[in-house]
Amino acid sequence: MALKGTMVIGQSGGPTAVVNASLAGAVLEAKRHPEIEAIYGSLGGILGIIHEDMIDLGRERLEVIEGLRSTPSAILGSCRYKLSNEDYERILAVFRAHDIRYFFYVGGNDSMDTTHRLGQLAADRKYRLVVMGIPKTVDNDLAHTDHCPGYGSAARFTALSVRDAGRDSEALSNMGRIKIMEIMGRNAGWLTAASALARENPEDAPHLIYVPERPLNTDRFLEDVQRTYERRGHAVVAVCEGVKDENGNALAESRLPIDVDAFGHGQAGGVADVLCRLVKDRLDLSARFDKAGTIQRVFMATASPVDVQEAALVGEMAVHHAVKGVSDRMVTLERVADEPYRCTTGLVELAKVANLERPLPDEFLSPSGNDVTEAFIRYAAPLLGGPLPPYARLAKHPVARRVAG
């Protein structure tokens, strides 16, 4: 017998350009199933359920729900909140009061853990509840999925911004500039690696790439920069904000109480400034840094159409499986082919995703530790939703000099 009742959906963690597309996919699919008698949205992630702060998404106009596909950030509001035992009991009480039988949570590995634990508690209390995880993270670090909704759009932003910064640096190469671009990523360098997609030819920026999966030795870093500068007259470096030294310590991270979240994560950032000062002090070269900050994860103008489509698809498939009685799973993206790119969906147990991070594999990183491989380019390029707009380059036919000296 089909489970009937209300569904509630929430968004958690860092917003992305396409997380609302997942919400749209889930809501539109839910409207097709009479088993789902009402559709609620939880405001502020899981906190909206704890505080019984929910809205009726079923009453929203259809064009508004459709418009979520092209609306960035988390429209329901988000949070980074670690639940206590009392919180779990409170959530179950709210579920009972509203006859909520379907819970969908859009988020990363911490969110999958929350979803899994809620499903376990409901089962222990003999309360019939279906729970499903919908993947989301620009970090692309969820296990058991080929890639994560949100990554393709942030990767496209990264490639475009690094490419333009490279042209800016190249124009002033007679001034000997070193430019360091800091890109988001706490423990995984997937987004920083995407900067390599900016290259139209081997001489294009970025010239050096550093990710947390490879320890950064400052002496070797300075040698890389010096060698690149001598060859080109400038250098553009893409560095992940979470890059670590040889002892596994972040080169830059705030541990102030106000900058540490509920899961004990310090606020990453500041590594580009550290490396710029190092270049100035040790190499006596001019160095500046660019840091896009949180805009890189939600910039809708550079959203990947592939990413938008797949984000809506995972939301849709979560509801599709849930009404069939599937529970305690996260929807995954499964790559079928690269050329032409084709992807389908699958399912994985939430317990296999919860609290796990997937780093860049060795085959995607160069032996030198300062670049990516062609294998990564083949993996990531289709996720951008098409090639970057081509840029022109002058052939620079020289004019013969006529004045001595």
Q: Which residues are catalytic?
A: 139
Beta carbons within 8 Å of 103's beta carbon, 6+ residues apart: 7, 8, 9, 95, 115, 118, 119, 129, 130, 131, 132
Distance CA 272, CA 181 (A): 7
Helices marked H in 1-102: 19-30, 47-50, 62-67, 85-97
Phi, psi of 107 (to 5 degrees): 180, -160
Length of the chain (residues): 405
Distance CA 151, CA 383 (A): 8
Phi, psi of 169 (to 5 degrees): -65, -40
Residue 119 burial by Cβ neighbours in a 10 Å radius (0-12, 13-18, 19+): buried
Q: Are strands 329-338 and 341-349 parallel, antiparallel or unpaired?
A: antiparallel
Helices marked H in 31-150: 47-50, 62-67, 85-97, 109-124
How crowded is residue 200: how many other Cβ atoms within 10 Å of its Cβ? 13
Across-strand partners of 98?
none
What's the token pair of residue 349?
């147990």
Distance CA 16, CA 297 (A): 5
Please answer whether residues 75 and 67 qualify as being in contact, where contact means their C-beta atoms are separated by less than 8 angstroms. Answer: no
Across-strand partners of 28?
none
Distance CA 204, CA 198 (A): 8
Please answer whether residues 104 and 39 qualify as being in contact, where contact means their C-beta atoms are separated by less than 8 angstroms. Answer: no
